[in-house]
Structure 1
Amino acid sequence: MPRKNDTPVVDRDTVIGKVVTILRAFTVDDNQLTLAELVRRTGMHKATVHRLAGELVDVRLLDRTDGGYRLSGGLFELGMLASVERSLLEIAMPFLQDLYARTRETVHLGVLDGQEVVYVAKIGGHRQASAPSRTGGRMPLHCTGIGKALLAHTDPARRHAVLSAPLPRRTPRTIVAPGILARQLDTIREAGVAYEYEESALGIACVAAPILDVSTNAVVAAISITGPLARYRPEAHADAVRAAATGIASTLDRRRSLR
């Protein structure tokens, strides 16, 4: 399938293409969408959208609401069947819970997808920072601690693609100069941890570490601890997040060897 900016481009002349277009019309801020808004966002004929949305309701990928449609729990169930993320989450969760118990700050697990990080898990309590992340959500690699930890250890082609593309500025502190970011990625690779200081959202700081395949040293995922700058110093948690990432990698390797 052709790709544009690392997002698969769907063929809307096919049924599956039309279905994917309808599902992708929803954003993180949408609790529901009216039929008229789905038609506007997809650019498809009203009758087509109405028919396919009805079929998606029948198979529990959409729910019908008083005002239109919303994404259904059936999509979440399918997502949790994804073998790599499910296995990773099962192994990582005890380590994430331990980090949260020790810090009481927001803990993340994320994986690479194109030029973005996808958050597989997020643990946080009443004191959690106002981070822009959410479970199942995406963020650019260049402006988050967890994204930079992934980017520093990814393959040269992906790193080049990110550094050669525009780097959107999310806050005044976002690094948008490719040369500066490249030097920071080299430092991250050597140190084994990445830091973020108000680069994705004002008022928060983060320390992150990559989970590397024991055999190939390829990056599998990354974990992070995020907190508000008013009370949180990420440097104090560098050893803990690095040790947790190493523990997850070792457990993944042991489970693989038992198969």
Structure 2
Amino acid sequence: MANSPSGESMTSRIVRVISAFDETHQAMPIAVLARRAGLPLSTAHRIVNELMGHGFLQREADGSVRLGLRLWELANRSSAALGLKQIAMPFMEDIQAVVRQHTQLSVLRQDEVLFIERLSSHGSVLNHAKVAGRLPVHVSSSGMVMMAHSPRHVQEEYLAQQNPDASEEKRLRSSWAKMRLEGSARLPGAVVPDTTGIAVPVFGAGGTAVAAIGVVVPTGSEHISSTIPALMTAARGISRGLGVRAEAAGPHYQR
């Protein structure tokens, strides 16, 4: 596609427009959208009109703009996450029937955790992880356990990007080593006080984590001796559904 005077392609500008929407900016005037996307107002108007013509954006009654149903339709028809969700859902339902709090499925995206499914029960504890939402790796049990079971170069890239001080880097490396040994992660109070996140990795064919399945429960009600084995059983089932051989399909619980 044609480049702008700055050399940026039209594709890059469209991505910036779509990426300007998030949980706290689900609909906005075009002027706000242009500012969040870092585009001139005239350029934003032109791109918005094109995307609305294809159903990727839609205009509200007050003149604001939001993501359109066409974008949702395409994402749900062919997303790579869709196959993972379909395989994982029966296992997540089994876990949720027992914990009756929050059960969630996530993947790594650079330095963040992307949550692709969550099951919750009425009256469950507060949980900031939302479907299609993200959290930093270091505050999420799912993020930490996936990073612990990622290739060394992925860990090094993460540390280089985050640039922690020496003591924090040492803490992260020590935590990852412990999580690799135990095959699970447990983070109490990392996001919400009085809640604990527990997660285990889902292995892909390459022997590294491609996802994580976890729960968020009240601190003091973790029932580690039963919760972690149940999560690991679910993770191995999901791995087998992804085509991983049974003997390579996941970590095993160690007391």
- TM-score (normalised: structure 1): 0.84
- Name the count of aligned residue pairs: 236
Unpaired runs of at least 5, structure 1: 1-10, 169-175
1:13 to 3, 8, 18: 8
- Name 2:243's counterpart in structure 1: 253
Q: Would the aligned equivalents of 1:12 and 1:18 in 2 still touch at CA under 8 Å? A: no
Q: d(CA) in 2 for partners of 1:127 and 1:204?
A: 14
Q: Would the aligned equivalents of 2:110 and 2:158 in 1 still touch at CA under 8 Å? A: no
Residue 116, structure 1, aligned to residue 138, structure 2: no
Q: Equivalent residue of 1:126, what SS?
A: coil
Amino acid corresponding to residue 195 of structure 1 in structure 2: R
- Name 2:23's counterpart in structure 1: 28
- Name 1:146's counterpart in structure 2: 142
Q: d(CA) in 2 for partners of 1:83 and 1:150?
A: 21
Q: 1:216-252: CA deviations, max 9, x gaps?
A: 31212110011232x6325241111111111111222
Task: State the shift of 1:130 in Å.
Answer: 1.5
2:56 to 57, 61, 66: 61
Q: Equivalent residue of 2:28, what SS?
A: coil
- TM-score (normalised: structure 2): 0.85
Q: Equivalent residue of 1:253, what SS?
A: coil
RMSD: 2.1
Residue 91, structure 1, aligned to residue 87, structure 2: yes
Q: Equivalent residue of 1:75, what SS?
A: helix
Q: Would the aligned equivalents of 1:195 and 1:234 in 2 still touch at CA under 8 Å? A: no
1:185 to 173, 176, 186: 176
Q: d(CA) in 1 for partners of 2:143 and 2:29?
A: 34
Unpaired runs of at least 5, structure 2: 1-5, 246-255
Amino acid corresponding to residue 218 of structure 1 in structure 2: T
Q: Equivalent residue of 1:150, what SS?
A: helix
Pair 1:192–1:70, CA change in 2 (3 A) = same
- Name 2:42's counterpart in structure 1: 47
- Name 1:212's counterpart in structure 2: 203
Q: Would the aligned equivalents of 1:226 and 1:234 in 2 still touch at CA under 8 Å? A: no
- Name 2:186's counterpart in structure 1: 195
